[in-house]
Chain A
Amino acid sequence: MKTNLDEFNEIISECRRFAKKEIQPEALEMDLQPKFEWLRSVWEKSRSLDLPLLLIPESCNGVGYPEKCAALVLDMLAMECAGVASLFAGHFAACTTLNSLKKQEKALTADILKIMDADPLPVFSVIFPFDPDDSSLGLERINGKNILRGRSSLALNSMHADYFLVLIQSSGDTDAGCCVCLPNDSPGVEIEENARLPGLKINPFAKIVFNDVVVDSDMIIASGGPGEKILAAAQKAYFGFIAAMAMGASRSAFLKAMSYAKGRYQYGKHIIHHEEIQRMLGCMQMKLDMGTAGYLQAFNDETVSLPALSSKGRLAKVYCTDAALEIVQDAIQIHGGYGYMHEYGLEKVMRDVKILQLMGGRNPALHIQVIAQHPVRFGQ
């Protein structure tokens, strides 16, 4: 469906209102003492804005909005808490995965999409093959059964997901890429301990172990060629979503720094009048603007064809998360000692952003991948 600018702006302001009302009052406390029920209640309340159904096609009782719109929603939610936003990001990535199926497979997907419309609304998590350990995931056919085994890398929504969408990358010619959907209570699915990362604490990461899980054929959503395509589409969207959350989180840090600088008097004036503070704020504004433009561009289907222009979601993720960390660290600096204290909320944003920076792979390695995985671009 076509969504015009006004509609986008309306979504932005509604999500902003929602985040301020439902997320902001508890976000800091939930960072200290995460209560999963609280996150679940925010999830349920977000139904009033149809957020969980945002990316589900209208034909399946969803809203059918484009991914760019989901990114804007994440940006707004992350302004109050990137941890809360990340729950939606994991879910949206799952919806993207399903939406990216080829037309003829839509009937099958519709069944799964129906699950998404259940009551209470289920949360999805996508398991990406980002950081394969010694025992990465594999789907094999043994005695006529599909057996999923292995251990995932750290997964988003691990503690909250009702369903896992497992993306398996092909390794050589042995097994082609595929996508499997599993309820979290399937026999053999084991969620390991919370990895205890310093950020996004309300939505902890954990590895998921699949101990010879038998997968029904109709839960194998795609395999072979389509599996690879789904993987690529899901990754692209996921990277864009991470970028959007990073911008949202740093957007709030920027705004806080602006307002603090206007009120803090030091060295004979309000510190916003010191050139160095203006330079810092200007630089933060630049990164925010460029990052936002970058992630929005990553969701544009159509773009001008300038030479050497790539619209890779992963580069938007790298740029936006790196920029976000710099913005937040400067916002803390502008707050002086207060910025380092939990109650000011900025140090939490720094921890959250650090995790966003590492999600989906290490940023320096992603730089390498962008070139190395596309040999055509350098003529080989």
Chain B
Amino acid sequence: MSDETVNYGLRARSPDLLDTVPGLGKLKSACPKYIEKAEFAQKTARDFAKNEIAPRVLEIDQKCAADPAYFDWELWETANAAKLNITPIPEKMGGLGWSALDNAMLVEELTSACMGCASNITFNTFGLLGAMVECKTDIVLKIISQMVDAQRRSKPLFWSWAITEPSAGTDVEDEEAMATMRPSTHAKKIEGGYLVNGTKCFITNGSLAHYVIATIPADSAHPKESMATFFIPTTTKGFSVGRIERKCGQKASQTAELFFKDVFVPEENVWEPPGKGLRHTREILSITRGFIGIGGLGIARGALERGIRYVSRKKVKNHRLIDEEWVQMVIADMIKDINTVRCAGINFAMALDAYHVWKMFDSVPVKAGLKIVPEKILLGKSLQALAEKSMFSHAGSEFKKKFVSDEQIETFVYYGSLVKVAGTDLAVNITSRVADMVGLEGLSDQYGIEKSFRDAKVTQIYEGSNQANRIDIVKHALSKMGIKNLGVPDENKP
């Protein structure tokens, strides 16, 4: 049986968005362009995943197993040429102008082929997301023009988001936890900026990054009150990269330790002043957690696709493994779980379009501006110079505040955590069940199923452990129900 005959996952008729989430048909009749664009994004991403990623994932995985510093530049170049690393940037400015829904399509398709490779392509939007938090006009314009310029010249431009430290993972993502955090980094105020010292760990793309966005406290005794966000070019004196981790899976994506030794950060690179660093982190999490959930969904779908292909070919005595009823029941259950989480993921992405930063792209002033102002000027020096003037620089921040309030951020952390936990638990569960279904032989590395199994586990850990995500879910949900001040007094504990 040839691969093409299993019409599922990357080999499904494309696009099949409306087949898998038929309720979108109603939306399509009201906003045809929105759904058609998502269908286009799905097809583009699926073709890329099928033709560019899938054929080489196993080889990349093996090379990275031998050398964690190996990076597949050829794949990156192909993705860069297709602009898949700058999808959210408006078309007029050189990007693809993809909505959050379009990006959800991208993430599901790419991660179904390989989560590590998908990270290499999509995690670069951390730069843009980071800048969009404060949304100073000049910074956003600068970041966008750098990203677009690098894309055009096919020059790598990597961003890392560094919040985790050896002593603090959960503690850097949660208000209550941060109050008790024991930091491994410190930023000392000096004239004209800050002097940063310490270590960050487990930083995706840390070893490739040109820029690092790092949260670091200015007062180690009061991390919550003094947490700040810094923008640090990795060429800065005193910055260095430590070990590139040897991981269980997602090997194509590099995870590194970062050292800061008297790294000077000038005032203009302080993206959030002391006290506002956690807010910055929470806003990024309010977007990224949901996408990690969608990544988990992709891993699960990819594993199921490989599993179905295997069991429909594997002969047992005089029948195919897929002819056995228990196998069919397992597959039914997995399809059910995958489809349920997909609906949740799509709902989350559409909510980002409706109520989060993506809504800005849809607003009249932004749309009109993009329509009227010629492309050259949009990315040109004169607009940049104008934007640097205080009045205009803050205009972006003020404008954004109208769309995204602090309360909304917390609501989206909640929405995102729901999808994150559901999608990543799905990834671990499904990859393991697919392995159980295909059996020992099916776990040979040539089928990629064992890779899905190895890739899945970490999704329950990063972007906040699933326990930390559950804490966010329950705090938010119960407070909406009017139940607050949770916690058993220590003396009543068993």
Contact = CB atoms under 8 A, between A and B. Distances in A.
A61 interface: no
Interface residues of A, number: 46
A347 B443 contact: no
Nearest to B441: A154
B443 A336 contact: no
A318 to B, nearest CB: 10
Nearest to A267: B177
A339 interface: yes
A274 B465 CA distance: 14
Nearest to B431: A354
Contact of A365 (B201, B315, B326): B326
A325 B432 CA distance: 9
Contacts of A250: none
B440 A350 contact: no
Interface string A322-354: 000100010011001101111100010011001
A362 B439 contact: yes
B475 interface: no
Q: A132, A205, A350, A364: which has the most chain B beta carbons within 10 Å?
A: A364
Given A325-B432, A342-B247, A268 B177 contact: yes
A58 interface: no
A341 B436 contact: no
B446 A337 contact: no
Contact of B437 (A196, A361, A364): A364
Contact of B436 (A266, A268, A358): A358
B440 A267 contact: no
A362 B443 contact: no
B124 to A, nearest CB: 21
Contacts of B446: 196
B174 A267 contact: yes
Interface stretch (B8-16, B91-99, B367-375, B454-462): B454-462
B161 interface: no
A64 B317 CA distance: 38
Given A132-B317, A268-B177, A340 B461 contact: yes
Contacts of A368: 326
A368 B330 CA distance: 13
Contact of A134 (B170, B180, B315, B324): B315
A45 B382 CA distance: 77
A364 B326 contact: yes
A336 B436 contact: no
B445 interface: yes
Contact of A267 (B167, B171, B445, B470): B171
A115 interface: no
Interface in B178-222: 179-180, 182, 201-202
A133 interface: yes
A153 interface: yes
A320 to B, nearest CB: 14
B467 interface: yes
B21 interface: no
A361 B439 contact: yes
Nearest to A342: B246
A195 interface: yes
A341 B450 contact: no
B96 to A, nearest CB: 32
A195 B326 contact: no
Given A333-B461, A340-B457, A265 B167 contact: yes
B230 interface: no
A266 B201 CA distance: 16
Contacts of B249: 340
B306 to A, nearest CB: 14
Nearest to B458: A340
A195 B177 CA distance: 46
Given A364-B326, A364-B437, A350 B246 contact: no
A339 B461 contact: yes
Contacts of B316: 131-132
Contacts of A146: none
A275 to B, nearest CB: 8
A274 B324 CA distance: 44
A278 to B, nearest CB: 9
A351 B372 CA distance: 57
B169 A266 contact: yes
B26 to A, nearest CB: 39
A225 interface: no
Given A198-B445, A266-B168, A333-B465, A359 B440 contact: yes
Interface in A250-270: 265-269
Contacts of A281: none
A6 B460 CA distance: 43
B443 A341 contact: no
B245 interface: yes
B492 to A, nearest CB: 12
B246 A343 contact: yes
A39 to B, nearest CB: 20
A244 to B, nearest CB: 19
B248 interface: yes
Contacts of B450: 197-198, 351, 354
B441 A153 contact: yes
A77 interface: no
B428 A358 contact: no
Contacts of A337: 164, 169, 201-202, 458, 461-462
A357 interface: yes
A198 B454 contact: yes
A275 B486 CA distance: 13
Interface of A: 32, 131-134, 153-154, 195-198, 205, 265-269, 274-277, 325, 329, 332-333, 336-337, 339-343, 347, 350-351, 354-355, 357-359, 361-365, 368
26 contacts: A153-B440, A153-B441, A154-B440, A196-B444, A198-B445, A198-B453, A198-B454, A265-B182, A266-B168, A266-B169, A266-B170, A267-B171, A267-B180, A269-B180, A274-B467, A325-B432, A329-B457, A336-B169, A336-B461, A337-B462, A340-B457, A347-B454, A354-B453, A357-B435, A361-B439, A362-B439
Given A198-B443, A340-B247, 14 more contacts: A131-B439, A132-B317, A195-B444, A197-B445, A332-B461, A337-B164, A337-B461, A340-B461, A347-B248, A351-B450, A358-B436, A359-B440, A363-B436, A364-B436
Interface of B: 164, 167-171, 174, 176-177, 179-180, 182, 201-202, 245-249, 315-317, 324, 326, 330, 428, 432, 435-437, 439-441, 443-446, 450, 453-454, 457-458, 460-462, 465-467, 470, 493
The 3 A-B pairs at the shortest CB distance, nearest first, are namely A347-B248, A268-B180, A198-B450
